[in-house]
């Protein structure tokens, strides 16, 4: 007989795992369909580069409460220094000014993802959702695990697969890549994060343990000429950042990925809800992608817990969720896209507007408070 569920979650990344954990006490029949991670290489390859993630306070609290992050494993950001290389105008956001313990916490995405996967073991079905058919209620899903195919049914399918299943359309190609890893600097970080905009793309330095983690966007063209030698890489990084932190040294292994703004083509058809990176993938500037995905999780969990089981996946349920999430998703997408494009522009008028914008934010405490709240809370910061 075909197994039947109330909710099937496709994907056990951080968003899929957080979704499953948010539903675990609701008395629903749920399953998380996700492929097993690849077996570790033998002999082990060099350690994978740290991919830093800055979690806003609400995301941090949620993941800690769910047990996905252990207390004291993150590095708090107490101050964010935002500037534009070679232009006037800069602003500083401080946790103390906004009576907050911190503006966020920095953790390693890879470790978080491994922990997320392990935490869904009680609900896990190994495999990948291949496709689904809807001939009314319920949906029928085809699951493939290696060469074996299987069929299950569900009232609601939550796609948290990062964008493989419901294909994403590319809205903008930034013609940039993001380099990430860790590096040491002569001066200690003192829990200060830097977001430094340059004509090529933003460079974020995030306090991470006793080091800095970096996410450095450069033009795609430069990706091929970036030095592989550690010392030369540090020199290039210092050349972009400047001398404020002293000498850069001891860079870790690093990797780079292309940067695209993508959005799900047709979100939220009947019986199917798309969350996290499966709904959109953003430029990493301002560190909003996972925070936005976790706000999807919070609102979907609240909607599911206040719905009758029979109504899960109904057209009305799916449409109501889409409506609830529209403003936050659109505003976050627009803000990160604006930051990524405005500051990478070499036009003098745009440069002037950007510089004046940064200087004005710095001069106006309410504007600084709004920016801090916007980064922490998403659309809830909009009065
Ligand atoms: C360099 C960089 C820096 C970033 N910095 C930040 C930051 O500071 N703050 C922030 O909030 N965000 C940041 N982000 C964004 C953040 O990493 C992503 O938004 C987040 O990891 C998305 O999580 P997810 O669970 O939605 O998707 P994913 O992590 O992509 O997980 C999807 C999962 O689904 C599984 N899957 C795929 N296909 C199927 C299928 N058919 N069936 C079942 N399972 C499937 C995959 O195996 C995977 O485990 C950054 C991103 C980058 C690249």
Q: What is the pTM of this model?
A: 0.91
Asked whether the predicted pLDDT for residue 373 surpasses 70, the reply is no
The DSSP H or E segment spanning 60 is helix 57-65
Q: Domain 3-40+114-168+262-338: which CATH class?
A: alpha beta
Asked whether the predicted pLDDT for residue 165 surpasses 90, the reply is no
- Ligand 1 mean position, distance from CA 95 (Å): 27
Ligand 1 atom nearest the C-alpha of 128 is: 42
Query: Cα(160)–Cα(273) distance, rounded to whole angstroms?
Result: 9
The residue whose CB lies within 8 Å of the most ligand 1 atoms, and thus the one to mutate among 13, 69, 281, is: 13
Q: Determine whether the shortest distance from the Cβ of 287 to ligand 1 is under 6 A.
A: yes
Question: Each residue of 263-276: pLDDT tens digit?
Answer: 997 655 689 999 99
Question: Each residue of 64-111: pLDDT tens digit?
Answer: 999 999 878 899 999 988 887 766 567 888 888 878 888 889 999 999
Q: Cβ(115)–Cβ(70) under 8 Å?
A: no
CA torsion 329→265→33→316, rounded to 10°?
70
Residue 198 DSSP code: -
Question: Each residue of 308-358: pLDDT tens digit?
Answer: 999 999 999 999 999 999 999 999 999 889 878 876 655 555 555 555 555
The DSSP H or E segment spanning 89 is none
Nearest Cα to Cα of residue 30 among 152, 165, 144, 142: 152
- Ligand 1 mean position, distance from CA 228 (Å): 27
The residue whose CB lies within 8 Å of the most ligand 1 atoms, and thus the one to mutate among 141, 144, 161, is: 161
Q: Determine whether the shortest distance from the Cβ of 165 to ligand 1 is under 6 A.
A: yes
Asked whether the predicted pLDDT for residue 292 surpasses 70, the reply is yes
Asked whether the predicted pLDDT for residue 301 surpasses 90, the reply is yes
- Ligand 1 mean position, distance from CA 275 (Å): 11
Asked whether the predicted pLDDT for residue 5 surpasses 70, the reply is yes
The residue whose CB lies within 8 Å of the most ligand 1 atoms, and thus the one to mutate among 290, 292, 325, 333, is: 290
**Residue 261 CA to its chain's centroid (Å):** 13
Per-residue confidence band for 128, with pLDDT thresholds at 50, 70 and 90 = very high
Residue 344: its pLDDT value, please?
Answer: 61
- Ligand 1 mean position, distance from CA 277 (Å): 6
Look up the CATH superfamily of 52-110+171-259+341-381: D-Amino Acid Oxidase, subunit A, domain 2 (3.30.9.10)
Lowest mean pLDDT among 87-91, 172-176, 192-196, 279-283: 87-91
Q: Cβ of 152: how many Cβ atoms within 10 Å? A: 21
**Residue 18 CA to its chain's centroid (Å):** 13
Domain ranges of the chain: 3-40+114-168+262-338, 52-110+171-259+341-381
Per-residue confidence band for 383, with pLDDT thresholds at 50, 70 and 90 = very low
Q: Cβ(112)–Cβ(53) under 8 Å?
A: yes
Same fold, 3-40+114-168+262-338 and 52-110+171-259+341-381: no
- Ligand 1 mean position, distance from CA 291 (Å): 11
Ligand 1 atom nearest the C-alpha of 164 is: 38
Question: Each residue of 178-228: pLDDT tens digit?
Answer: 999 999 999 999 999 998 888 888 899 999 999 999 999 999 988 888 998
Q: Determine whether the shortest distance from the Cβ of 51 to ligand 1 is under 6 A.
A: yes
């Amino acid at each position: 007989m075909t197994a039947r569920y109330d909710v099937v979650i496709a994907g056990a990344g951080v968003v899929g795992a957080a979704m499953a954990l948010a539903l675990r006490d609701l008395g629903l029949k749920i399953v998380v369909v996700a492929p097993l991670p690849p077996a570790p290489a033998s002999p082990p390859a060099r350690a994978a580069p740290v991919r830093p993630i800055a979690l806003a306070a609400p995301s941090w609290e949620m993941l800690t409460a769910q047990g996905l992050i252990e207390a004291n494993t993150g590095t708090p950001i107490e101050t964010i220094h935002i500037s534009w290389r070679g232009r006037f105008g800069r602003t500083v956001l401080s946790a103390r000014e906004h009576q907050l313990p911190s503006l966020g916490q920095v953790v390693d995405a890879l470790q978080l993802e491994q922990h997320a996967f392990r935490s869904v073991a009680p609900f896990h079905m190994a495999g990948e959702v291949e496709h689904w058919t809807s001939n009314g209620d319920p949906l029928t899903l085809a699951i493939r695990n290696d060469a074996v195919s299987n069929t299950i049914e569900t009232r609601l399918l939550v796609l948290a697969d990062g964008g493989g299943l419901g294909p994403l359309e590319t809205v903008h190609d930034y013609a940039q890549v993001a380099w990430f890893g860790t590096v040491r600097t002569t001066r200690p970080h003192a829990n200060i994060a830097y977001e430094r905009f340059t004509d090529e793309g933003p460079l974020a330095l995030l306090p991470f343990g006793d080091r800095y983690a970096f996410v450095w966007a450069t033009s795609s063209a430069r990706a091929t000429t970036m030095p592989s030698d550690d010392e030369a890489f540090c020199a290039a990084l210092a050349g972009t950042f400047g001398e404020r932190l002293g000498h850069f040294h001891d860079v870790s292994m690093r990797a780079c990925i292309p940067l695209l703004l993508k959005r799900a083509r047709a979100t939220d058809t009947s019986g199917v809800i798309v969350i996290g990176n499966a709904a959109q993938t953003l430029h990493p500037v301002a560190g909003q992608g996972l925070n936005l995905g976790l706000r999807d999780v919070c609102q979907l969990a609240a909607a599911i817990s206040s719905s009758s089981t029979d109504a899960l996946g109904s057209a009305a349920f799916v449409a109501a969720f889409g409506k609830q999430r529209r403003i936050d998703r659109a505003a976050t997408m627009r803000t990160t896209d604006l930051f990524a494009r405005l500051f990478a522009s070499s036009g003098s008028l745009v440069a002037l507007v950007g510089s004046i914008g940064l200087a004005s934010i710095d001069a106006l405490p309410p504007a600084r408070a709004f920016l801090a709240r916007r980064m922490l809370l998403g659309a809830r910061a909009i009065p």
